[in-house]
Amino acid sequence: MLIIRDLVFKGRKSFGEFLAAGEGIATNVLTDRLERLESAGVITRRRDPVNGTKFIYGLTERGIGLVPLLLEMIAWSGRHDRRTPVSKKFLRELENNRDEVTRRTIRDIRNRPYSSRPGGR
């Protein structure tokens, strides 16, 4: 879920960005997780058009289907853990209008340049 979270909310999309996220994940573990997510059809991996030696990861439609679950986890954490590193404003918006936050989040993912969706730029 950390990789999914980073793709959705943190703007991370490359191996190096995931590795530098501060979670302390070992490179072999990160490689394994990315391969599993790709094999499961949750993420895609494409060559970076700017740097052909790097890969860019993005969510598939199957991966985008996890957004409501991720948002629910954020809402739960906001209610039960004062240390949740999410703004109070976002938590209020999520609690008051979850459907709109979900729609907006999914729309934003689909409009990213590395989206697996045909409409992605």
Which domains are delineated in the chain?
2-110 (1.10.10.10)
Q: What is the pTM of this model?
A: 0.84
The type of residue at 115 is: S
Cα–Cα distances (Å) from 3 to 65, 72, 79, 100, 117, in that order, read 14, 17, 23, 23, 19
Average pLDDT rounded to a whole number, residues 49-73: 94
pLDDT tens, position by position, 70-104: 999 999 999 999 888 889 999 999 999 999 999 99
